[in-house]
Chains A and B, each alone.
Chain A
Amino acid sequence: MKLKINLDECVGCGNCTSVCPFDLVEIVKGKVKINEEGCNFCGACVESCGYYAITIEADEPVAEADESYCGVWVFAEQRRGTLKNVAYELLSRGRELADTLETELGAVCLGHNVQDAESLIAYGADKVYLADSPDLADNQEDYLTHKLVDLIREYKPEVVIAGATALGRAFFPRVAAILNTGLTADCTGLDIDTEKRLLLQTRPTFGGNIMATIICPANRPQMATVRPRVFKKNAPDDKRQGQIIKVDFKKEGIAPKTKLLDFIDDVTETVKLEDADIIISGGRGLGKPENFKLLAELAEAMGAALGSSRAAVDEGWIPYSHQVGQTGKTVCPKLYIACGISGAIQHLAGMQTSDIIVAINDDPNAPIFEVATYGIVGDLFQVVPMLIKKLKG
């Protein structure tokens, strides 16, 4: 790739200088100058220029994709025999992608005694590739990696997506590395370029400040992970017809490189954050750890789960498992009440798709109000006790 600048067209307006994610563009003596070292040809400057002064030229024609790959696959993650919600969310979106591509939707489920594998069909799968073995009970990542690689090589799907869970983010990149194909992490949007049959993978980057759309033009399959709760789960259709294909799993030939010795449950959570309909969340504005008790009281009154911003976790007021945001959990409850949370972009990235957001903060300029449905500017130590009293009353 080459950056080409047509200095005759450049008027030195400077539109392009601020859009570069790497700060490589400047105006020198009234003309654009780009420091190519560090440039990854993202095209932001090209798009920002109203005078067509900057262009990116491809070196050579891109290789053609192997057309024998077809079908959309979802990795249906399970834990201890129970399918995760993210599997259904991905199937719901996967169904639409498969319909657009006029192809089949497959679900791959690797586990032991997985209950309700038929539900994957009800949520849109045409075929469920199900491997059942005691060796798959613990989600051993080396087994999952190699089994999924084998299945992809055998059935050749053109698109494979998985949840960006702790498991998905750890083993999916290994699958992509073995298959020598592209993988896009943490997508928030998946669409199809119907003309080229390409998966358009849109994801936040720079902490949610910028959105990037990414393609994998030549290598197959096209792979992406998607955060839980990004796509909505459709209503299941129990009458849908599909096929469950039992596939073998043999651990022989796969050397497990890591071994799970123990699992320690985080006992502080009474309602699981990811599954909660209502979340009461607290931030630095609480002032001290004891004040989380006030939020816990509100949570109890509303049957809600307790969340927090990173600031409160960093202060040691509440365990990490409650953290909502970029490096915590992504949630999408029906109601999210943010108390004393200013709303750093990293926090917003984890909760802004909630149905209703209530923000309680004493700073009217706090960014949390930009995503809120209802805003209360006031002292949370007055508002929250009042709310508890009226709800109980």
Chain B
Amino acid sequence: MNIVVCLKQVPGTTEVKIDPQTNTLIRQGIENIINPFDTYAIEEGVRLKEKDGGKVTVITMGPSQAEAALRESISLGIDEAILLCDNAFRGADTWATAFTLSCAVKKLQQYDLIICGRQTIDGDTGQVGPELAEMLDIPFIAYVGQIEEIKDGYLRVRRMVEEGHEILETTLPAVITVAKEINVPRLPSLRGIMKSKSAKIDTWGIRELGVEESMVGLPGSSTQVIKIFFPQRVHQAEMLEGNPEKQVDTLIDRLKSAGLC
């Protein structure tokens, strides 16, 4: 089976704090990481390969430093890595990103299952997976928590929805996005780390993909960011003082006057 994993390199910004003086992000010491949700996609791809054989290819679109994320994925058991890197790809929104990825997947020709993380931690959209599926005109299932069966062009999964779980079946090739329930990602092996250092990573740009500049990057994006700002928190909690009993009494008073108890 040929598995493709799509990943994104993101700044580890969830640890970032806002400097209250300047109202800006404190960015010191922030390193780029593989989007945490994509690590479940990598792990699932590697597990499927270990069980049933085949090959796992990882694709990312990003600047040249995204190569580090690809090498890390190789240390985790990925066989081949492709970097989609071209000045023309800059400024892509989810549509243009999905389109670029779809061109790369088509160029691979052989693909049975495409696995993406459920969303990134920087953009948080979760849109690239479903858009990619539509551009490839193949089935899509979001939020997969467990692959129950996969063989001979058939896939059955358990996925999470608000009210519980759904069991869905579909045909391959297909695109799935995975939730963190699906597995526990492994740590890199020593052999993997050695392999990742010497692995050859292909870089594809618009020429290799055979796409027009107008279809990718900023020109290919329908949406445009016009403003970035920091959320304002001008809020002062009323701190309830005294011993626990006094605190609870005051709280009940406040809740009673709000009609809540």
A residues with CB within 8 A of B: 1, 15, 18-23, 36-44, 47-48, 59, 79, 141-142, 145, 165-167, 169-174, 176-178, 180-186, 200, 203-219, 257-266, 274, 278, 302, 320-321, 326-327, 329, 334-335, 344-346, 356, 358-359, 369-379, 382-383, 386-387, 390-391
Contacts A329-B162, A370-B233, A370-B235; A335 near B255 (Cβ below 8 A): yes
B73-81, B127-135, B191-199, B200-208 - the one binding chain A: B127-135
Does residue B50 face the partner (Cβ distance < 8 Å to A)?
no
Q: Looking at the complex, which one of B122, B128, B221, B238 makes contact with A182 (CB distance below 8 Å)?
A: B221
Q: Which of chain B's residues 211-239 have a Cβ closer than 8 Å to chain A? A: 218-219, 221-231, 233, 235, 237-239
A141 CA / B24 CA spacing, docked (Å): 41
Sampled A-B contacts (25; CB under 8 Å) = A1-B91, A19-B228, A23-B11, A43-B228, A47-B228, A173-B130, A177-B130, A181-B222, A182-B95, A206-B121, A206-B124, A207-B122, A208-B231, A216-B223, A217-B224, A258-B168, A263-B165, A266-B165, A321-B164, A327-B119, A345-B14, A346-B14, A370-B233, A376-B251, A379-B244
A263 to chain B minimum Cβ distance, whole angstroms, is 5
Q: How far is the CA of A371 from the CA of B91 in the complex (A)?
A: 34
C-alpha gap A12/B226 in the complex (Å): 25
* Residues 10-35 of B contacting A (Cβ, < 8 Å): 11, 13-14, 16, 18-19, 22, 24-27, 30
Q: Are B131 and A177 in contact (CB under 8 A)?
A: yes
**Distance to closest chain B CB from A43 (angstroms):** 6
Q: Contacts of B224 on A, CB cut-off 8 Å?
A: 214-217
Interface of A is mostly: mixed
Q: Which residues of A contact B130 (CB under 8 A)?
A: 169-174, 177
Contact of A182 with B222 in the complex, beta carbons under 8 Å: yes
Q: Are A258 and B124 in contact (CB under 8 A)?
A: no
B247 close to chain A: CB less than 8 A: yes
Measured between beta carbons, the chain B residues less than 8 angstroms from A262 are 166-167
Q: Which of A1, A204, A216, A258 contacts B222 (CB 8 A)?
A: A216
Cβ contact within 8 Å between B125 and A186: yes
- Consensus secondary structure, chain B interface: mixed
Determine whether B187 belongs to the interface, using a CB cutoff of 8 Å to chain A: no
A172 to B125, CA, bound (A): 12
Q: Is B160 an interface residue (CB 8 A)?
A: yes
CB-CB under 8 A for A21 and B260, given A213-B227, A383-B244: no
The distance from the CB of B127 to the nearest CB of chain A, in whole angstroms, is 4
With a CB–CB cut-off of 8 A, which chain B residues contact A327? 118-119, 180
Most buried by A among B128, B143, B226, B233: B226
User: A1 to chain B: which residues have CB within 8 Å?
Assistant: 91, 218
Which residues of chain A are near B13, meaning CB under 8 Å? 21, 206-207, 209
Q: Top 3 nearest A-B pairs by Cβ distance?
A: A182-B222, A257-B139, A182-B223
Please name all residues of chain A whose beta carbon is closer than 8 Å to the beta carbon of B142 when the two chains form the complex. Answer: 166, 169-170
Q: Are B247 and A383 in contact (CB under 8 A)?
A: yes
Q: Tell whether, in the assembled complex, residue A382 and residue B123 are in contact, meaning their CB atoms are under 8 Å apart.
A: no
**Closest beta carbon of chain B to A77's beta carbon, Å:** 11
Instruction: Check A274 against B162 for contact (C-beta < 8 Å).
Output: yes
Q: What CA separation (Å) do A209 and B170 show in the bound complex?
A: 38
A204-B124, A217-B224, A369-B237 known; A174-B134 Cβ under 8 A: yes
Partner of B143, one of A166, A206, A326, A387: A166
Beyond A18-B27, A182-B221, A212-B225, whether A206 also contacts B238 by CB under 8 A is no
Interface size class of chain B, counting residues whose CB lies under 8 Å from the partner chain: 35 or more
If the complex has contacts A173-B131, A173-B134, A174-B134, are A390 and B248 also in contact, measured as CB distance less than 8 A?
yes
CB-CB under 8 A for A40 and B91, given A21-B228, A259-B168, A261-B169 = yes
CA distance A320 to B11 in the complex (A): 26
Q: Which residues of B contact A257 (CB under 8 A)?
A: 138-140, 170-171, 174
| With known contacts A261-B156, A261-B167, A209–B27 Cβ distance under 8 A | no
In contact, A207 and B14 (Cβ under 8 angstroms): yes
User: Does B152 interact with chain A (Cβ within 8 Å)?
Assistant: no
User: Within the complex, which residue of A44, A210, A372 is in contact with B237, where a contact is CB–CB below 8 Å?
Assistant: A372
Q: Are B254 and A374 in contact (CB under 8 A)?
A: yes
Determine whether the beta carbon of A23 is less than 8 Å from that of B30. Answer: yes
CB neighbours (8 Å) of B125 from chain A are 184-186
Q: Are B135 and A211 in contact (CB under 8 A)?
A: no
Given A185-B127, A260-B168, A373-B237: A38 and B90 interface contact (C-beta under 8 Å): yes
| Cα(A174)–Cα(B175), bound, Å | 12
Chain B residues positioned under 8 Å from A208 (CB to CB): 231
Minimum Cβ distance to chain B for residue A326 (Å): 7
Q: Nearest chain B CB to A308's CB is how many angstroms away?
A: 15
Quick one: CB contact mask for B127-163 with A, threshold 8 Å, 1 for yes?
1111101110011111100000000000010001111
* A215 with B168, Cβ < 8 A, contacts A370-B237, A379-B244 known: no
Point out which of A178, A208, A327 has the most chain B C-beta atoms below 10 A from its C-beta: A327
A314 to chain B, nearest CB (A): 8
B240 within 8 A of A: yes
Contact of B39 with A by CB under 8 A: no
Residues from chain B with a CB closer than 8 A to the CB of A178 are 134
Once bound together, how far apart are the Cα atoms of A183 and B222, in whole Å?
8
**10 extra interface residue pairs, beta carbon distance < 8 Å, beyond A263-B167, A359-B237:** A21-B228, A38-B65, A43-B228, A48-B24, A166-B161, A178-B134, A181-B95, A200-B226, A334-B260, A375-B239
B190 contacts the other chain (Cβ, under 8 Å)? Answer: no
CB closest chain-B residue, reference A39: B90
When distances are taken between beta carbons in the complex, the residues of chain B under 8 Å from A19 are 24-25, 228
- CA of A321 to CA of B129 in the docked complex: distance in angstroms? 23
CB <8 Å contact, B126 and A320: no
A360 to chain B, nearest CB (A): 9
- Complex CA gap A165/B162 in Å reads 8
